[in-house]
Amino acid sequence: MSTRGTQTWPLRRDDGLPVVMGVVNVTPDSFSDGGEWFEPSAAIAHGLELVAQGADVVDVGGESTRPGAQRPSVQEELRRVLPVVEALAHDGVVVSVDTMRAEVAGQALRAGATIVNDVSGGLADDGMVALVARSGAPFVAMHWRGHSTDMQSRAVYDDVVTDVCAELAQRARVLVAAGVAADRIVLDPGFGFAKRAHHNWLLLRHLDRVLDLGHPVLVGTSRKTFLGRLGRADGEAPRPPAERDAATAATSVHAARLGAWGVRVHHVPSTLDALRATAAIDHATDSATEPATDHATDHATDGG
């Protein structure tokens, strides 16, 4: 199932799974794919591939937010993002624009994007909140404490779950007071942003408290470094990003079980397979009648 071309909000899948947001990084320095989709033609093709694989939304971003990343100019970010947004939207894809800049968000919305995904939650650009309020676009507001150049120095919490929830709740109140419709605000706990590994695991364990804030929640753990450290000894390098998709799928399943609205992932098939398998287990019954096609297929293909 795909929400492709859908304009109603909030987006929902008719199979009960969370919305799957596929990532297209139009950057030369992303932590995950390192420029693989930097050329517009490659980025457009990849976006269409993600949709064919089952993504409901394609999230297009032109600024790397990995720790230590330097920001591109506004003009460069626009050059990277706009052709991709326009082409995908023209093909009926539901597009979100991943940007912290009001100018980029505004031009992307005019080019056909329908969602603004701002990792700063509107804190990085004074014009972002007013733009979103005027446009009526759904707004993903992530928990954020500063730009990539120094964000990890800000990973200091009394209690990470309490603090993140309080800061997200305050941000949502500010957005509503500025005219953003409450039902168009999506909250993102900001895994990997001003968070150490143990902070991320605690936020996942207590994700229900973020959901209790009353807004749809987007979970973006995909290929983050803390997943790459699983099974690694102290001091050992984490697995490369492309080898973190199984762990990403596991965290997506966890988020789905708790009721997250969406998951943002780089590799759509592995996450969808994990979500569908879990849903099949949850909905299995002890009915005396097996579907004939399933029975025949199982006997035809299973074996040692």
Sequential DSSP letters for 69-117: PPPPPHHHHHHHHHHHHHHHHHTT--EEEE-S-HHHHHHHHHHT--EEE
Q: Which of 101, 239, 244, 264 is catalytic?
A: 264
Report the CATH number that the domain containing residue 233 is assigned in CATH: 3.20.20.20
Q: Tell me if 211 is assigned to some domain.
A: yes
Q: Tell me if 181 is assigned to some domain.
A: yes
What backbone phi and psi angles, to 5 degrees, belong to 139?
-130, 120
Count of domains observed in the chain: 1
- Tokens found for residue 98: 């991943």
Q: Tell me if 168 is assigned to some domain.
A: yes
Quickly tell me which residue has 């023209």 as its tokens: 90
What backbone phi and psi angles, to 5 degrees, belong to 198?
-65, -30
Spatial distance between the Cα atoms of 91 and 77, rounded to a whole number of angstroms? 22
For 21-31, what is each residue's pLDDT tens digit? 999 999 886 55
79 is catalytic: no
Q: Helix or strand or coil: residue 60?
A: strand
Q: Please report how many Cα atoms fall inside a 13 Å half-sphere around the Cα of residue 242, on the Cβ side.
A: 3
Q: Tell me if 8 is assigned to some domain.
A: no
Q: Tell me if 100 is assigned to some domain.
A: yes
Q: Tell me if 173 is assigned to some domain.
A: yes
Read off the pLDDT band of 272 (50, 70, 90): very high
Domain span holding position 217: 19-301
For 125-178, what is each residue's pLDDT tens digit? 999 999 999 999 999 999 999 887 778 888 999 999 999 999 999 999 999 999
Q: Tell me if 3 is assigned to some domain.
A: no
Spatial distance between the Cα atoms of 43 and 24, rounded to a whole number of angstroms? 6
Q: Taking 50 as the threshold, does the pLDDT of residue 36 lie above it?
A: yes
Q: Which of 101, 145, 184, 224 is catalytic?
A: 224
Q: Tell me if 11 is assigned to some domain.
A: no
DSSP 157-223: -SSHHHHHHHHHHHHHHHHHHTT--GGGEEEE--TTSS--HHHHHHHHHTHHHHHTTSS-BEE--TT
Specify the DSSP class assigned to residue 25.
E
276 is catalytic: no
pTM score, two decimals?
0.91
